[in-house]
Structure formats: C-alpha cells, structure tokens
C-alpha cells in the first residue's frame, strides 16, 4: 500500500469551506481513479496548515494517479484559500485500527529521518514496541507509519478520540517516541498535532 500527502497552507477561516469542497467535488471523483483506497485531511485550525493524504493499493496506482490527482489537489487548495507547499509519496509500512475515529478525533504526527538501511528496523520497532504500548492508552483509535525508502524519511501518526485524550497522553507519548527513536538512531524532525477533519479510508490492517 502507498500514500501521497499534500501539505497545504490554508486560510484558517476557509477550512470549513475547503472541507465542503473536498466532500462535494473531490470525493466523488476519487473512486473513478484505479487503485484509490482512501482519503484523509488533517487540519491545524490555528495556523491553517492542512495535510491531505490519498492512499493507493500499489505503487503503480500511485504513479498512475499523479496527473488526475493534481487538478483535484489544486482545486482543494483553492477551496481552502491557500496553496500547496509540499507533495510527498510514501510506502505505508504499518497501519493498525483499534476504534473508529469520530467527529472529535485528533492526530499527532512525528516526522523522523534516519539512515535508509535502518528503515526495516524502524518498522519492526514501530510494530513490536510502539504500537503495543500506544494502543493501551485511553482514547487511542489508530496508528500508521509511512516511509520513504530512498531518503530514509518517515512519518508516524496516531489518532485519538478527542483533543482532551491527545493532550492527556502527550508526556507518555514523548517517552515512547524518545525510546523508540533512540533505539533505531532516528532524528525527530517535527511533532505536530491536528484535528482529523475528514477520514474515508479502506486501507486494510497492516500491523
């Protein structure tokens, strides 16, 4: 499974309009593209930073969708009153769902950089150490790990039932993250928190 994430600098006041555009204009067109299996949008309503992610059943589907998705992405950026800052493509290395994400769900993302030769060790550590600890925390909904094998860049995301749940586990997750990244020799580039504003995913369990 593969994914494409698009970071958009939106106007905070336009996020609801952008979500309406996503539901009315983008979602009806995505099922027409071969290999599409999901879409999510994370939003930081204070800064306007949004990350739209599409999921694809194969690398061939990911590559084959590039042209058709570009116009949808540009339209979404206009709907959000902003611009596309960054487009990245990933292998989905792990995905685990424990509970469905509701309307109040939030997400925490951690971007890391490490030697590409250590990516398999990172994936194993995520599956065997990070996930078992994380899913025991109140409010946990799901977790995923995306990797770029060429660059050694990766991003892990955890989804929580509410902002309160995510706030309550911040220190505990800091400890889990610190131990895991130290063990595999990964440098943490950024940790960011978002509202999970939209999620329509048919990606199978991969943990």
- Is 59 part of a structural domain of the chain? yes
Q: What per-residue confidence (pLDDT) applies to 165?
A: 96
What residues does 90 pair with on adjacent strands?
A: 3
- Is 206 contained in some domain? no
- Inside any domain, residue 205: no
Whether 33 is in a domain gets the answer: yes
Closest CA to 89 of 153, 169, 21, 178: 153
Section 98-125 average pLDDT: 93
* pLDDT of 97: 85
| Cα distances (Å, whole numbers) of residue 148 to 66, 120, 170, 206 | 17, 11, 26, 17
Q: What is the pLDDT of residue 207?
A: 57
The pLDDT of residue 205 is 54
Within a domain: 157: yes
Q: What is the pLDDT averaged over residues 191-207? A: 81
pLDDT tens for 121-138 read: 999 999 999 999 999 999
- Look at the chain and report how many structural domains it folds into: 1
What's the chain look like in SS3?
CEEEEEEEECCHHHHHHHHHHHHHHHCCCHHHCCCEEEEEEEECCCCCEEEEEEEECCHHHHHHCHHHHHHHHHHHHHHCCCEEEEEEEEEEEEEEECCCCCCCCEEEEEEEECCHHHHHHHHHHHHHHHHHHHCCCCCEEEEEEEEECCCCEEEEEEEECCHHHHHHCHHHHHHHHHHHHHHHCCEEEEEEEEEEEEEEECCCCCC
What residue numbers bound the domain in which 115 lies? 2-200
CA 152, 158, 164, 169 torsion-angle sign: negative
Q: Is there a domain that residue 46 lies in?
A: yes
Q: In this predicted model, what pLDDT tens digit does every residue of 61-90 receive, in sequence order? A: 999 999 999 999 999 999 999 999 999 999
Encoding tokens for residue 25?
């204009």
Q: Read off the pTM.
A: 0.93
CA 192 to chain centre: 11
Which of the four pLDDT bands, split at 50, 70 and 90, describes residue 103?
confident
CATH of the domain at 6: 3.30.70.100
Q: What is the pLDDT of residue 102?
A: 77
């Amino acid at each position: 499974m593969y994914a494409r994430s698009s970071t958009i600098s939106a106007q905070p006041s336009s996020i609801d309009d952008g979500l309406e555009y996503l539901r009315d204009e983008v979602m009806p067109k995505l099922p027409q593209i071969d290999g599409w299996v999901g879409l999510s949008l994370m939003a930081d309503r204070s800064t306007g930073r949004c990350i739209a992610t599409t999921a694809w059943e194969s690398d061939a589907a990911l590559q084959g969708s590039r042209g058709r998705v570009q116009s949808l992405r540009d339209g979404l950026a206009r709907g959000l009153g902003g611009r596309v800052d960054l487009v990245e493509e990933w292998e989905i290395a792990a995905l685990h769902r424990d509970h469905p994400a509701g309307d109040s769900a939030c997400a925490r993302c951690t971007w890391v950089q490490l030697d590409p030769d250590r990516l398999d060790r990172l994936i194993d550590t995520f599956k065997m150490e990070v996930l078992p600890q994380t899913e025991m925390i109140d409010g946990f909904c799901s977790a995923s790990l995306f990797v770029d094998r060429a660059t050694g860049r990766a991003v892990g995301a955890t989804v929580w039932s509410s902002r309160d749940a995510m706030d309550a586990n911040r220190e505990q997750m800091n400890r889990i993250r610190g131990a895991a990244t130290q063990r595999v020799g990964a440098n943490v580039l950024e940790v960011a928190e978002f509202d999970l504003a939209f999620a329509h995913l048919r990606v199978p369990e991969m943990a």
